[in-house]
């Protein structure tokens, strides 16, 4: 390198350059040479070394190196090549310019710190990408931990950058963190809350990617698509995205429909209101007609026999309908719906299903159908539920009952003559 310096000075003398101009001109030449060398090193790193690495990665059978390439870890590493050239060669080139060497060292040190941080971030993204390939990632997401690690890495990089700028040891700034702890807690309050909440959510398995949750306070009703350090993103069924603070999943209440998916049954809980004025006792002719219904034929026969034996033992005067026990059309109708649900191919047989009579109100006597379909897909569930109630409402008149509805203008119109 000294020989190069001597030859350069001889060349400038031969060019007739004045002595007072030789020194700054030599500095300009060295800067240009350093720039050209760094550009060449960058070209070699990106077009030769990176191409070779990419070819090796694509031919390998492992998946993790493909993720490193996809997240551009190797691409970002290539940016270190030119700055390393400057860092190593500048002292030799710029020996006559100590201030420029110091400036070059400082600038390259800052650039190296920044690029190492960028590479570290890309590596964490690759770790997350590799982890997300496993089924465990749905129930134990680590995105929040990776984001917290990025924040910590950024803080460490900032401390090293300050140490370069102010020419102080990094320990000087690390020891100074204790004095600004209160400020840091205030600035990173949401980050700390999100991190603690993320740990609780993951440890207690409160929410997984793909869970259907409801949180009316935040207008969320849909599938969880992302769990990060600060927020949980929910894609609602109207295709909008709701963002919920992660700590809200711990501090507030929400409904998780994961149990429905795991059991394979989706609940039907709907009322059909019967007009009280249509409820009556069943006479023998009506019961004979009910016995012809396949689903409740055995039920009607058994109940008629049981009631007849009871009334005979008690010696009731059956001339009056209020004496003794009698079957009613609404009770028989309830038995029919229960049998219909029991034999329906789309009702989950291992989960509870029943028809219960709710307290009467101004709308009549509500009969609540409570059951679970064995198909949890929303479209299929709605179709099954509609088919069941189509049938129920159609058979109501056969039992001498009427469905209650509020009267409208049509209700008071006389039928056409």
* Amino acid 12: pLDDT: 47
* Amino acid 178: pLDDT: 62
Strands 255-256 and 231-236: what pairing? unpaired
Instruction: Answer whether 143's CB lies under 8 Å from 229's CB.
Output: yes
- Whole-number Å distance between alpha carbons of 31 and 314: 117
Most confident of 30-34, 91-95, 119-123, 133-137: 119-123
Is pLDDT at 5 greater than 60 in this prediction?
Answer: no
Mean pLDDT of all residues in the chain? Answer: 80
Is pLDDT at 242 greater than 90 in this prediction?
Answer: yes
Q: What are 268's two structure tokens?
A: 């039907």
274 CB neighbour count, 10 Å cutoff: 25
pTM confidence score: 0.60
Is pLDDT at 323 greater than 90 in this prediction?
Answer: no
* Amino acid 334: pLDDT: 95
* Amino acid 379: pLDDT: 92
- Whole-number Å distance between alpha carbons of 178 and 278: 80
Question: pLDDT band at residue 95, thresholds of 50, 70 and 90?
Answer: low
Query: What residues have CB less than 8 Å from 61, skipping those under 6 apart?
Result: none
Question: Looking up tokens 């040190």, which residue turns up?
Answer: 109
* Amino acid 52: pLDDT: 77
Is pLDDT at 269 greater than 50 in this prediction?
Answer: yes
Over residues 24-50, the mean pLDDT reads 67
Return the ∠ at Cα 393 (arms to 401 and 390), rounded to 5°.
Answer: 170
In sequence order, what are the beta bridge partners of 245? 231
With pLDDT > 70 as the criterion, what percentage of the chain qualifies?
A: 79
Is pLDDT at 149 greater than 90 in this prediction?
Answer: no
Query: What residues have CB less than 8 Å from 344, skipping those under 6 apart?
Result: 388
Q: Of 195, 83, 205, which Cα lies nearest the Cα of 150?
A: 195
With pLDDT > 90 as the criterion, what percentage of the chain qualifies?
A: 30
Question: pLDDT band at residue 77, thresholds of 50, 70 and 90?
Answer: confident
pLDDT in tens, 270-312: 999 999 999 999 988 999 999 999 999 999 999 999 988 888 8
Question: pLDDT band at residue 360, thresholds of 50, 70 and 90?
Answer: very high
- Whole-number Å distance between alpha carbons of 136 and 132: 8
- Whole-number Å distance between alpha carbons of 278 and 404: 10
The edge-to-edge listing of strands for the beta sheet with 212-215 is: 241-245, 231-236, 220-227, 212-215, 255-256
Over residues 41-66, the mean pLDDT reads 73
Q: Of 211, 273, 257, 274, which Cα lies nearest the Cα of 372?
A: 257
**E strand or H helix that includes residue 234:** strand 231-236
Question: pLDDT band at residue 6, thresholds of 50, 70 and 90?
Answer: very low
CATH 2.30.30.60 fits 204-256, yes or no: yes
Q: Of 110, 104, 102, which Cα lies nearest the Cα of 37?
A: 104
Is pLDDT at 15 greater than 60 in this prediction?
Answer: no
pLDDT in tens, 396-411: 999 999 999 887 665 5
SS3 assignment for 155-181: HHHHHHHHHHHCCCCHHHHHHHHHHHH
Q: Of 363, 358, 356, which Cα lies nearest the Cα of 333?
A: 356
* Amino acid 250: pLDDT: 84
Q: Where are the domains of the chain?
A: 2-201, 204-256, 266-412
Q: Helix axis angle, 143-165 relative to 189-203, nearest 10°?
A: 150
Query: How large is the C-alpha radius of gyration of the chain?
Result: 40
Is pLDDT at 374 greater than 90 in this prediction?
Answer: yes
- Whole-number Å distance between alpha carbons of 278 and 330: 9
pLDDT in tens, 326-345: 899 999 999 999 999 999 99
364, with CB counted inside 10 A (0-12, 13-18, 19+), is buried
Lowest mean pLDDT among 155-164, 210-219, 338-347: 155-164
Is pLDDT at 394 greater than 60 in this prediction?
Answer: yes
């Amino acid at each position: 390198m000294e020989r190069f310096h001597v030859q350069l000075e001889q060349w400038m003398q031969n060019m007739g350059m004045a002595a007072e101009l030789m020194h700054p001109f030599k500095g300009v030449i060295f800067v240009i040479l350093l720039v050209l060398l760094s550009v060449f090193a960058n070209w070699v790193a990106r077009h030769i070394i990176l191409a070779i690495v990419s070819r090796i990665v694509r031919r390998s059978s492992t998946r993790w190196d493909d993720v490193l390439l996809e997240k551009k870890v190797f691409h970002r590493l290539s940016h270190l090549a030119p700055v390393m050239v400057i860092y190593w060669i500048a002292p030799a080139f710029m020996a006559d310019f100590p201030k420029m060497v110091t400036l070059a060292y400082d600038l390259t040190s800052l650039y190296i710190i920044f690029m190492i941080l960028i590479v570290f971030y890309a590596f964490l993204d690759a770790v997350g990408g590799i982890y997300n390939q496993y089924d465990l990632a749905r129930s134990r997401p680590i995105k929040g931990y990776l984001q917290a690690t990025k924040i910590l890495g950024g803080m460490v990089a900032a401390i090293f950058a300050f140490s370069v700028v102010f020419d102080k040891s990094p320990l000087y700034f690390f020891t100074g963190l204790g004095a600004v702890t209160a400020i840091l807690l205030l600035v990173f309050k949401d980050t700390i809350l999100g991190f603690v909440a993320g740990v609780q959510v993951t440890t207690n398995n409160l929410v997984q990617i793909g869970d259907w949750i409801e949180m009316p306070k935040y207008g969320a009703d849909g599938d969880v698509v992302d769990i990060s350090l600060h927020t949980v993103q929910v894609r609602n069924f109207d295709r909008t995205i709701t963002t919920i603070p992660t700590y809200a999943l711990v501090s507030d209440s929400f409904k998780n429909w994961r149990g429905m998916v795991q059991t394979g049954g989706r609940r039907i809980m709907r009322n059909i209101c019967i007009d009280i004025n249509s409820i009556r006792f069943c006479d023998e002719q009506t019961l004979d007609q009910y016995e012809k219904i396949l689903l409740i034929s055995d039920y009607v026969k058994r109940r008629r026999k049981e009631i007849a034996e009871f009334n005979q033992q008690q010696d009731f005067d059956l001339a009056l309908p209020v004496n003794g026990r009698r079957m009613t059309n609404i009770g028989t109708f309830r038995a029919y719906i229960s049998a219909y649900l029991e034999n329906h191919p789309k009702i989950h047989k291992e989960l509870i299903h029943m028809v219960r009579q709710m307290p009467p109100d101004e709308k009549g006597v509500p009969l609540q159908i409570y059951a679970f379909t064995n198909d949890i897909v929303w479209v299929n569930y709605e179709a099954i539920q509609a088919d069941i109630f189509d049938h129920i409402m159609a058979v109501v008149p056969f039992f001498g009952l009427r469905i209650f509805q509020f009267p409208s203008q049509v209700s008071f119109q006389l039928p056409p003559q």
